[in-house]
Amino acid sequence: MEFGPYLMLAMLEGAVLAAVLALMASGLSLVFGVMRVVNVAHGEFYMLGAVMAWVVTQFMMGLGGGPAVNFIAAAVLAPLIVGSIAAAADVVILKRLNYDPERVIVATIGLLYIIQQAALMGYGPDAKPVVAPFNERIALPWVAWGENGLEMYYPWGLSTTSYKLFVIVAAVVILAGLRLFMTRSRAGLIMRATQLDGEMATAFGIPVERVYAIVFGAGAALAALAGVLIVPIQQAHYLMGGDALLLSFIVVIIGGLGSLAGTVVAAVLIGMSDGIISVFFTPTLAKIIATLAVALVLVFRPQGLFGVKNR
């Protein structure tokens, strides 16, 4: 394959990964930003989102819905269900630990295994597909100098699908919405107030505990939404949360824990470099470089690219 089309394909693949990563990591970052809680079970909420998408579409198929209707139902219901589970876990477990950072990490590790094994028991060990609402192959044109000057042609293998483009667009829209919500809405204001100073927020009558439960649920719902978006491409599998968790941690550390903008930038960086390095070299090298980047960031800029130093 020629260099130009090759690079374009790599970037398209990278953009899909970046979109999903940005959604997932912003959930992790939101939870850390507001609650100062490192949620190790975040990858399992992503998996649960994908599994729930399968469950909802199977249920809807029983009612005779088409793929588009089923998918919309999954995109609405799966994050809601997963968000409620997470909010309940916050109230039942994390609150009892007073959000003590070390104990919360141990508790969420426990949560990780409980969710993973429950999925194995209930959903089973197989990868199961969800039908995409639409999935046309789009061959992409390329422009190059030919015998008659500039020529447009369709290089071999250069293509994407309409659904992959939809995932990229959907992630951009959701993240823009999240940003607007945090900066413009009253609920967003309350969350930011809680983030800045929980005690002062309590003094001003903000129900901090309820805010925490909602934020934890919302973070999980974002991961679940990422899971719903990816499942028509990759299928739902009970072990899919592990790699996703690792990548979101990489993204969040590089971007700066708690910084939404940093998370998005880092997701694009990691997603794109993963796409391009895997296409031109090997996927293993892409992972090595991402991990190396984390190490370098931790050494030279521990607060992350966009993070703010602790006061």
Contacting residues for 19 by C-beta, under 8 A, at least 6 apart: 167, 168, 170, 171, 172, 229, 267, 271
Residues 80, 88, 139, 187: which binds other proteins (CB under 8 A)?
139
From CA 114, how far away is CA 48, in angstroms rounded? 12
**Residues 215-244 contacting other proteins, CB under 8 A:** 233-235, 237, 239-240, 243
Considering the rule CB under 8 A, would residue 109 count as an interface residue with other proteins? no
Considering the rule CB under 8 A, would residue 131 count as an interface residue with other proteins? yes
Contacting range for other proteins; rule: CB under 8 A; set: 3-11, 25-33, 171-179, 288-296? 3-11
Which CB atom, from 160 or from 263, has the smaller least distance to other proteins?
160
φ, ψ of residue 221 to 5 degrees: the values are: -65, -35
What ranges in 65-185 are assigned the alpha helix state H? 67-89, 101-122, 162-184
Evaluate whether 74 touches 57 at the Cβ level (below 8 Å).
Answer: yes
Considering the rule CB under 8 A, would residue 124 count as an interface residue with other proteins? yes
What ranges in the chain are assigned the alpha helix state H? 3-35, 42-63, 67-89, 101-122, 162-184, 186-196, 198-203, 208-234, 241-255, 260-280, 283-300
Rg (CA), the chain: 20
Residues 9, 81, 245, 265: which binds other proteins (CB under 8 A)?
9
**Residues 151-170 contacting other proteins, CB under 8 A:** 156-157, 159, 161
Residues 176, 283, 291, 292: which binds other proteins (CB under 8 A)?
283
What's the N-to-C CA distance of the chain in angstroms?
A: 52
Q: How many residues bind other proteins, per CB under 8 A?
A: 33
**201 vs 14, 75, 142, 204, CA distance in Å?**
40, 33, 56, 5
Q: Which residue has the tokens 């130009």?
A: 4
Which CB atom, from 234 or from 303, has the smaller least distance to other proteins?
234
Considering the rule CB under 8 A, would residue 185 count as an interface residue with other proteins? no
- Encoded one letter per residue, x for contact with other proteins by CB under 8 A and - for no contact, window 27-56 reads ------------------------------
Contacting range for other proteins; rule: CB under 8 A; set: 78-86, 89-97, 197-205, 277-285? 277-285
Considering the rule CB under 8 A, would residue 126 count as an interface residue with other proteins? yes
Q: Shortest approach of other proteins to residue 238 CB, angstroms?
A: 8
Evaluate whether 220 touches 82 at the Cβ level (below 8 Å).
Answer: yes
The closest alpha carbon to 39, from 109, 100, 89, 88, belongs to 109
Partners of residue 71 on adjacent β-strands: none
Considering the rule CB under 8 A, would residue 261 count as an interface residue with other proteins? no
Considering the rule CB under 8 A, would residue 61 count as an interface residue with other proteins? no
Q: Which residue has the tokens 């790599």?
A: 10
Q: Shortest approach of other proteins to residue 121 CB, angstroms?
A: 10
Residues contributing to the site for other proteins (CB under 8 A): 1, 6, 9-10, 13, 17, 120, 124-127, 129, 131-132, 135, 137, 139, 156-157, 159, 161, 233-235, 237, 239-240, 243, 275, 278-279, 283-284
